[in-house]
């Protein structure tokens, strides 16, 4: 546990060790801030990899009878796009923000288990290399990010007749890669739970915790309960493939639906694992740029807990089309609709936070507002998908692709950029260029809607997901071309960001310690913070401890009852 006392003043002179070289510092570090940055940089690298895969997919589909990729290459590229974006970009980047920000927010000097933290990072990095290296063998995973059995089995008993399923290494890479990344998720989640429950600053009760910390805590519990399910699924798949068991083979007494139940009982909580920390970021950013405390803190916090619980009761809405009994369909349709309530509670509270505030439309605020709008679209068409007869019509169509991208790109990725622009000054001591940030935001907003909105219509017109080409007489041509143009606009936006990142690191405007006049404890440190974070641990008396410190006359603790 990182509980050493800080002593300043004395210096020792000796030879430098490997750990004091630039390279050694990063390889051996157990500092949560360095690891946070490493997570974020690594995740962003995989974002670029996944983004290039997306561009390949969209280029292939831009016109009918596309010839950029053949069927097998297309299968590998779209599978790795989904796998990379979910497991190697969104999850690690949110863990990266959690790593960097949570200990600072709660007034701790580090995570509870610093070495476990470092291990979690290295496993993500090597797991990512392992998964991506499958392209070098020409055998990247090719059964979609949810890898349905029995398609993922070897050759025998994979259907009514013995046909070839996936005899090569493709699914071995996927299953083993997921196992590796699962180890990282579990270690990270344990670390967050212990850190948040045990290392909070004096006075920071659970009801005074910043919302990002709250949502990281909920997400960590989701990970602890959801990851074992996909781990078990992947292990059973490996046993089927290599040791002759038949867990998913109907022809030998197994049940292919077992995969779907195991996968989705991980997969739907996973959606909330990917979005709850984003909710937390937005709940931090909107109040700061509205110059108000968050409206309905308690509701926002506990609605996150409600979402966490409910997320384990909705998995089979992904399986309506397999022929579930009506009672099961009714149950899962109801629970899915129910989860919209706590989600809407958050959205109403965010709107109420912004309403009447002194708004400052800096780039983090733009992305946060963009998040609310885009996530709302993704949420509403998600509720539509909970309606069983409608789901029958559009299941496995581009409507679903549109829904998940509005949630994960319009939602989480916008929140991630809001977070990057918001906390970058703390991490580096420099402010990202505002003008370039605005250009990036508007390009992304246009690009996202141009790419993903036409997919609603494509889905309603019957375009199935995962087809590698289509004939030109189905009325899909213009919409597909629009979606591809949108994808390239998003790519330009990302290039603008990379340019902004480079010029800021070279010659960015100094940020100071508190460039946004923020409310939470991470801003009560230098930018970047010292290795020990706080020389003296802060004492917390309200939900906005740094605001209290800066404004003793109007401190929250003088009026608030929490």
Partner 1 sequence: MAEEQAQSKQVRSKQRRLAAVEETSGPQLSYWPFVLAVALMIAFVGIVIHPILLGIGVVLTAVAVIGWGLERR
Residue ranges in contact with partner 1 by CB under 8 A? 2, 4-16, 19-20, 24-25, 27-31, 109-110, 114-116, 118-119, 121-123, 125-127, 129-130, 169, 172-173, 176-177, 179-180, 183, 530-532
Least separation in angstroms between CB 42 and partner 1? 12
Other Cβ atoms within 10 Å of 546 Cβ, number: 20
- In this complex, which beta carbon is closest to partner 1, that of residue 176 or of residue 461? 176
Spot the catalytic one: 343, 353, 428, 520: 343
Q: Does the active-site annotation cover 81?
A: yes
Q: Does the active-site annotation cover 133?
A: no
Spot the catalytic one: 34, 58, 317, 403: 317
Q: Which pair of structure tokens corresponds to residue 351?
A: 């709107």
Q: Does the active-site annotation cover 147?
A: no
- The CA-CA-CA angle for residues 365, 92, 368, to 5°, reads 10
Least separation in angstroms between CB 115 and partner 1? 5
Q: Does the active-site annotation cover 317?
A: yes
Other Cβ atoms within 10 Å of 432 Cβ, number: 24
- In this complex, which beta carbon is closest to partner 1, that of residue 244 or of residue 356? 244
Q: Does the active-site annotation cover 465?
A: yes
Least separation in angstroms between CB 92 and partner 1? 14
Strands of 444-503, DSSP E? none
Q: Does the active-site annotation cover 134?
A: no
Q: Does the active-site annotation cover 268?
A: yes
- Burial of 522-538, coded b for 16+ CB within 10 Å and e otherwise, reads bbbbebbbeebbbeebb
Q: Does the active-site annotation cover 318?
A: yes
In whole angstroms, how large is the CA radius of gyration of the chain?
Answer: 24
Spot the catalytic one: 145, 214, 248, 523: 145
Other Cβ atoms within 10 Å of 363 Cβ, number: 26
Spot the catalytic one: 32, 200, 241, 268: 268
- In this complex, which beta carbon is closest to partner 1, that of residue 33 or of residue 465? 33
d(CA 206, CA 561): 14
> For the chain, first and last CA: distance in Å?
29
Spot the catalytic one: 83, 283, 290, 527: 283
Spot the catalytic one: 174, 272, 422, 470: 272
Q: Are 227 and 205 in contact (CB under 8 A)?
A: no
Q: Does the active-site annotation cover 548?
A: no
Backbone angles phi, psi at 115, to 5 degrees: -70, -35
Q: Are 89 and 52 in contact (CB under 8 A)?
A: no
- In this complex, which beta carbon is closest to partner 1, that of residue 21 or of residue 551? 21
Least separation in angstroms between CB 207 and partner 1? 29
54, 397, 457, 473 from 63: Cα distances, Å: 15, 18, 17, 11
- In this complex, which beta carbon is closest to partner 1, that of residue 16 or of residue 67? 16
Least separation in angstroms between CB 73 and partner 1? 20
Q: Does the active-site annotation cover 184?
A: yes
Which residues have a catalytic role annotated?
A: 81, 110, 145, 184-185, 268, 270, 272, 283, 317-318, 343, 346, 465
């Amino acid at each position: 546990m990182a509980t050493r006392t800080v002593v300043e003043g004395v210096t020792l002179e000796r030879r430098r060790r490997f750990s004091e070289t630039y390279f050694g510092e990063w390889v051996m570090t157990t500092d949560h801030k360095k690891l946070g940055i490493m997570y974020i940089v690594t995740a962003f690298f995989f974002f670029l990899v996944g983004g290039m895969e997306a561009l390949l997919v969209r280029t292939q589909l831009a016109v009918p009878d596309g010839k950029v990729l053949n069927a097998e290459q297309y299968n590998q590229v779209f599978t790795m796009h989904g796998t990379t974006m979910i497991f190697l970009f969104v999850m690690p980047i949110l863990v990266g923000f959690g790593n960097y920000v949570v200990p600072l927010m709660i007034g701790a000097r580090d995570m509870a288990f610093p070495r476990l933290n470092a291990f979690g990072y290295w496993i993500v990095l090597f797991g990512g290399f392992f998964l991506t290296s499958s392209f070098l063998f020409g055998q990247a995973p090719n059964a979609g990010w949810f890898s349905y059995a029995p398609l993922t089995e070897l050759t025998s008993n994979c259907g009514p007749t013995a046909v070839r399923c996936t005899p090569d290494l493709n699914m071995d890479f996927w299953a083993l890669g997921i196992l590796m990344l699962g180890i990282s998720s579990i270690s990270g989640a344990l670390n967050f739970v212990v850190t948040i429950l045990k290392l909070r600053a004096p006075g920071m009760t659970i009801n005074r915790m910043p919302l990002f910390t709250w949502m990281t805590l909920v997400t960590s519990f989701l990970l602890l309960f959801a990851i074992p399910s996909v781990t078990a699924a992947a292990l059973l798949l490996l046993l089927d493939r290599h040791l002759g068991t038949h867990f998913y083979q109907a022809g030998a007494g197994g049940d292919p639906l077992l995969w779907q139940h195991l996968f989705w009982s991980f997969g739907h909580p996973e959606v909330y694992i990917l979005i709850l920390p984003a909710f937390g970021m937005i709940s931090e950013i909107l109040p700061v740029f509205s110059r108000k405390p968050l409206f309905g803190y308690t509701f926002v916090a506990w609605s996150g807990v409600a979402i966490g619980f409910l997320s384990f009761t909705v998995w089979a809405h992904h399986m309506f089309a397999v022929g579930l009994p009506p009672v099961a369909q009714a149950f899962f349709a109801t629970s899915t609709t129910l989860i919209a309530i706590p989600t809407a509670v958050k959205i109403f509270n965010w709107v109420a936070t912004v309403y009447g505030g002194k708004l400052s439309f800096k780039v983090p605020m733009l992305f946060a507002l963009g998040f609310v709008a885009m996530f709302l679209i993704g949420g509403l068409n998600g509720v539509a998908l909970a309606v069983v007869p409608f789901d029958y019509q559009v299941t496995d169509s581009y409507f679903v692709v549109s829904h998940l991208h509005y949630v994960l790109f319009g939602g989480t990725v916008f929140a991630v950029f809001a977070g990057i622009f918001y906390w970058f000054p703390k991490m580096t001591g420099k402010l990202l260029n505002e003008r370039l940030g605005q250009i990036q935001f508007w390009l992304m907003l246009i690009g996202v809607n141009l790419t993903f909105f036409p997919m609603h219509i494509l889905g309603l017109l019957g375009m199935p997901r995962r087809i590698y080409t289509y004939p030109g007489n189905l009325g899909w041509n213009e919409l597909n071309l629009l979606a591809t143009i949108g994808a390239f606009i998003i790519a330009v936006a990302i290039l603008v960001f990379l340019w902004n990142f480079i010029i800021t690191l070279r010659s960015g405007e100094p940020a100071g310690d508190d460039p946004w006049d923020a409310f939470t404890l991470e801003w009560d440190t230098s930018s970047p913070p010292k290795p020990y974070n706080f020389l003296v641990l802060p004492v917390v008396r309200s939900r906005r401890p740094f605001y209290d410190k800066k404004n003793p006359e109007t401190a929250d603790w003088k009026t608030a009852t929490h």
